[in-house]
Amino acid sequence: MKFIKNKFLIVFFWVMANLVALTVMRNQERQEIHAKGLDPDLISKFESITYSRSTPNDKSQIPFHAKFLKPVNVKDHQKYPLIVFLHGAGERGDDNLVHLKTLPQQMATSSWQERFPCYLLAPQCPENMQWSSSLRLNDALEHNLLDQIYHMILDVSTKHAIDPKRIYITGYSMGGYGTWSMIARYPELFAAASPICGGGDPNNVSEYTSLPLWVVHGDADHSVPVTESRKMIDALRKVGSTPEYYELKGVGHDSWSESYKNSSGMIDWLFKQHQ
């Protein structure tokens, strides 16, 4: 009987020790998330995805991480928009967290989800890489992360109640360049796009002249000159396109905060677009 009692106590203390350790780890994780300017309760709504894809011409794989947000209540027989979000250069890495600070975290709040129920896909660019290694359309796509993102979009679209006619893409800074490159390479995939403080190749605008665009840039941006967006807008208008273009007077590089947080602005416009 004494042996059984001792065995029970050993198991009990082992379970309690594990529960304490788990609680400590969770608290540490929450502190780390807070330190990155994130809300742990909002971040917990995202699923983690690790994606890699080899091609017939290149068997090497470039794994990268993403976060995926679902609508709060997915109703039967109803499809929802998908927002693809491309972050800036400062959020590169492999923690699969820091790139959620802006639009992704915002769209996870109850108020935004209630008004704009949607899926959101936020891949994280690996350190020392960039969304668009070149602005030329004839790059070998299998060597580019944008190709990986394209196939990730197709993958989540087949597994979830995503409306294929309402797939949107937006990004800022490096993600703005990535947004311009994505719509040039895969114009048929998107219903609308919003590149913010980025740039692209004006020679490729004929690929997406009919795509609804909401473009934003601060005229005091010293990191990515406003001329990067201006030349894209000029090229689009020359071929008959009518993009929405907003130059924010006196605003520096951070032209995305105002753009994303204005609930009657870009996001509202975005959700009205469909193929």
The class of domain 39-270 in CATH terms is alpha beta
pLDDT in the model for residue 135: 44
Domains of the chain, by residue range, sit at 1-35, 39-270
For the segment 130-137, the average pLDDT, to the nearest whole number, is 61
Residue pLDDT, tens place only, 173-221: 999 999 999 999 999 999 999 999 999 999 999 999 999 999 999 999 9
List, in order, residues 6 or more apart from 116 with CB less than 8 Å away: 81, 107, 267, 271
More confident residue, 148 or 62: 148
By mean pLDDT, which of 45-54, 202-211, 220-229 is the weakest? 45-54
pLDDT at residue 62 is higher than 60: yes
Query: Which residues, 6 or more positions from 92, have their beta carbon under 8 angstroms from its beta carbon?
Result: 99, 124, 125, 126, 127, 128, 129
CA distances (Å), origin 235, targets 206, 207, 243 = 9, 12, 11
Provide the sign of the torsion angle of the four alpha carbons 125, 128, 130, 136, taken in this order.
Answer: negative
pTM (predicted TM-score) = 0.84
pLDDT tens track for 29-46: 344 444 557 899 999 999
Q: Taking 50 as the threshold, does the pLDDT of residue 257 lie above it?
A: yes
